[in-house]
């Protein structure tokens, strides 16, 4: 996945343009910039590559999720449905807006179980946020029909699945709003960065204003702009955008390498009858950022995970025992540990999450290993890695 592995001259040249003019900000200073608009160019490039009308580039993926929620008007008293298996940023963003994250069970797609989503809907539900974890997607047909039935907003967190598709459309471009991250370890990186994608002009204008103190961005005198509503600062700098612009041009090259490496590893491991791969919804194609598979039970998965570590096979995660991505170890969330006072509704809701059991997700995450696909591996290295992985798994079984 990480685009930083192939950081090179193309990225340096783009950054050099910005250093040459000294205009490090994405807005204004038209005369000084000698035609260099890195953030704007990246937004146009993303819109074209992903087939959406509007893109707002932001300072991070977490900012993207927060801004997407805000753009859709989600806030205090609202509930957002998301999976138990996600990066912490997804619930952080919901909480930051004063809304409540309702965590629901996942299925073998490693993302939202449509039946669990249906059961979690209440009169306060405003949005469903599938998180396309580890390179593949939720059943988006099912999510779209649930949203239609209940008049809900669909927000895709596609931060880990850039380049994946569903029925021929890019992940991130299918919901009412979609989010990407360009942090340092994502498929393409800005160093730090993120983006909101949408075909809805109002949501786009909301995102554009909200991420820059409510500025309307009309005219060329920043000081004279009006503020139709309150906003904050989630702007990306031109330096970060310059790196991302170069990386975006290389996205298809990166995806090609990911797929090649993934395919070699998968072919080798699929010879082991006990191994089952993550389910990809019909019509979906993964981004190949990770190879995800299930072992027969928790104990086997733990032993294989340890075996990988002992044999120098890095980048394979057993999320059941991991602090970042799975509800089981999110003590800070369950205990509501916050620097500032949380609202009464949120405190009560978090207390419920603390007592709640997620047996289906435990079973799935307990048996799952997710192996990061790197870009810098040579074909030889991938083959030798495949051999080692097969031998560790076979030994444990
Ligand atoms: C990386 C990531 C984010 C947040 O992105 P940052 O740019 O690191 O803030 C959000 N959601 C998911 C699923 C991610 O993997």
Are the beta carbons of 245 and 48 closer than 8 angstroms? no
Q: How far apart are CA 139 and CA 111, in angstroms?
A: 8
Is residue 40 annotated as part of the catalytic site, yes or no? no
Kindly indicate the confidence band of residue 229, based on its pLDDT and cuts at 50, 70 and 90.
Answer: very high
Say if residue 106's pLDDT is above 90. Answer: yes
Residue nearest to atom 14 of ligand 1 (CA): 159
In tens, the pLDDT along 257-282 reads 999 999 999 999 999 999 999 999 99
Kindly indicate the confidence band of residue 247, based on its pLDDT and cuts at 50, 70 and 90.
Answer: very high
Probe ligand 1: pick from 160, 172, 193, 287, max atoms within 8 Å of CB? 160
In tens, the pLDDT along 27-82 reads 999 999 999 999 999 999 999 999 999 999 999 999 999 999 999 999 999 999 99
pLDDT higher at 125 or 222: 125
- Residues with CB under 6 Å of ligand 1 are 60-62, 65, 86-87, 89-90, 131, 157, 159-160, 181, 183, 194
Residue nearest to atom 7 of ligand 1 (CA): 61
Run of H or E including 277: strand 276-277
Residue 295 CA to ligand 1 centre (angstroms): 27
Residue 178 CA to ligand 1 centre (angstroms): 12
Probe ligand 1: pick from 89, 135, 188, max atoms within 8 Å of CB? 89
Ligand 1: which atom is nearest the Cα of residue 183?
7
Q: What is the pLDDT of residue 323?
A: 81
Q: Strand pairing of 194-198 and 54-58?
A: antiparallel
Say if residue 367's pLDDT is above 90. Answer: yes
In tens, the pLDDT along 83-102 reads 999 999 999 999 999 999 99
Residue 51 CA to ligand 1 centre (angstroms): 22
Q: Which residue has the tokens 């993934």?
A: 262
Residue 166 CA to ligand 1 centre (angstroms): 20
Say if residue 322's pLDDT is above 90. Answer: no
Residue nearest to atom 3 of ligand 1 (CA): 61
Q: List CB contacts of 363: < 8 A, sequence separation 6 or more.
A: none
> ∠ CA(350), CA(354), CA(355), 5° rounding?
125
Residue 146 CA to ligand 1 centre (angstroms): 25
Ligand 1: which atom is nearest the Cα of residue 65?
10
Ligand 1: which atom is nearest the Cα of residue 62?
9
Residue 105 CA to ligand 1 centre (angstroms): 20
> ∠ CA(156), CA(375), CA(87), 5° rounding?
30
Q: How far apart are CA 52 and CA 39, in angstroms?
A: 17
From the candidates 186, 259, 334, 387, give the one annotated as an active-site residue.
186
Q: How far apart are CA 96 and CA 134, in angstroms?
A: 24
Kindly indicate the confidence band of residue 146, based on its pLDDT and cuts at 50, 70 and 90.
Answer: very high
In tens, the pLDDT along 153-180 reads 999 999 999 999 999 999 999 999 999 9
Question: Could you tell me which of 15, 393, 100, 56 has the C-alpha nearest to residue 234?
Answer: 56
Question: Could you tell me which of 377, 375, 396, 382 has the C-alpha nearest to residue 305?
Answer: 396
Probe ligand 1: pick from 65, 91, 92, 183, max atoms within 8 Å of CB? 183
Say if residue 201's pLDDT is above 90. Answer: yes
Q: What is the pLDDT of residue 1?
A: 78
Ligand 1: which atom is nearest the Cα of residue 194?
7
Q: How far is residue 178 from each of residues 74, 92, 153, 160, 321, measured CA to CA in Å?
A: 15, 17, 11, 12, 29
**Phi and psi (nearest 5°) for 85?**
-110, 105
Taken in order of first residue, the domains within the chain and their CATH numbers are 3-249 (3.40.640.10), 252-396 (3.90.1150.10)
């Amino acid at each position: 996945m990480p685009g930083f592995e192939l950081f090179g001259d193309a990225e340096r040249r783009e950054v050099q343009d910005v250093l040459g003019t000294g205009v490090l900000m994405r807005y204004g200073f038209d005369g000084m910039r000698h035609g260099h608009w890195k953030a704007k160019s990246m937004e146009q490039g993303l819109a074209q590559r992903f087939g959406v009308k509007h893109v707002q580039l932001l300072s991070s993926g977490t900012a993207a999720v927060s801004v997407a929620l805000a753009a859709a008007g989600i806030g205090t008293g609202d509930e957002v449905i998301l999976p138990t298996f996600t990066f912490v940023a997804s619930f952080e963003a919901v909480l930051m807006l004063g809304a409540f994250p309702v965590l629901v069970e996942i299925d073998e797609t490693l993302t939202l179980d449509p039946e669990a989503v249906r059961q979690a809907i209440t009169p306060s539900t405003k949005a469903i946020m599938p998180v396309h974890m580890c390179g593949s997607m939720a059943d988006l047909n099912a999510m779209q029909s649930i949203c239609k039935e209940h008049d809900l907003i669909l927000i895709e967190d596609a931060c880990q699945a850039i380049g994946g598709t569903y029925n021929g459309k890019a992940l991130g471009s299918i919901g009412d709003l979609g989010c990407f991250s360009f942090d340092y370890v994502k498929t393409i990186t800005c160093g730090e960065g993120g983006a909101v994608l949408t075909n809805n002009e109002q949501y786009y204008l909301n995102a554009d204003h909200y991420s820059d103190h409510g500025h309307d961005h009309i005219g060329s005198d920043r000081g004279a702009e009006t503020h139709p509503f309150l906003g904050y600062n989630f702007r990306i700098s031109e330096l970060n955008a310059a790196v991302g612009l170069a990386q975006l041009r290389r996205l298809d090259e990166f995806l090609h390498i990911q797929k090649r490496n993934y395919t070699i590893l998968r072919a080798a491991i699929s010879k082991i009858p006990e191994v089952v791969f993550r389910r990809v919804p019909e019509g979906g194609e993964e981004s190949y950022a990770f190879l995800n598979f299930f072992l027969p039970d928790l104990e086997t998965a733990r032993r294989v995970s340890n075996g990988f570590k002992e044999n120098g096979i890095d980048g394979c995660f057993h999320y059941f025992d991991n602090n970042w991505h799975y509800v089981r170890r999110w003590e800070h969330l369950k205990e509501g540990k916050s620097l500032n006072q949380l609202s009464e509704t949120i405190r009560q809701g978090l207390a419920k999450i603390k007592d709640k059991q997620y047996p289906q997700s435990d079973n799935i995450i307990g048996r799952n290993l997710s192996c990061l696909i790197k870009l810098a591996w040579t074909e030889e290295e991938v083959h030798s890695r495949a051999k080692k992985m097969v031998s560790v798994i076979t030994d444990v079984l």
